[in-house]
Amino acid sequence: MTKTTELLNIECALELLEQVLVRFGDEDQRQLTQRRLAIRKSLLSANDLLRIALQLLSTPENLSMKDFVARKRAMLQDIRLAARRTYEAGHLLIGVDLSTPPPAGGLD
């Protein structure tokens, strides 16, 4: 299979992102500041989404319906994980502690 420009660009972006993650370190999350943890979660989410895009671009067109549905379900789980990381990163950036329940009146 000949790779399209889009596939090559996404693969390049993934390689660069993985280099940033390596330099950023895989420190103990309890020792990371909220800002660094938010950045790390954002980068991981971007990595997840790029991998999903790569899968979408490289999905064979002749999949059986069963394989197609299984692949889409797996990608949906990956999208949920990426969305969750992004959500957590946003809360970390605004200073919301996700380990404690929200106040009864909400987060105004």
- Residue bearing tokens 């991981």: 44
Supply the pLDDT for residue 47: 92
Supply the pLDDT for residue 73: 93
What is the pLDDT of the chain when averaged over all its residues? 82
pLDDT band for position 39 (cuts 50, 70, 90): confident
- DSSP per-residue string spanning 60-90: -TT--HHHHHHHHHHHHHHHHHHHHHHHHHH
Note the pLDDT tens digit of each residue in 56-81: 888 788 889 999 899 999 999 999 99
Statement: residue 82 has pLDDT above 90: yes
Domain boundaries, the chain: 5-94
Nearest of 60, 61, 50 to residue 9 by alpha carbon: 50
pLDDT band for position 25 (cuts 50, 70, 90): low
Rounded to two decimals, the pTM is 0.71
pLDDT band for position 26 (cuts 50, 70, 90): low
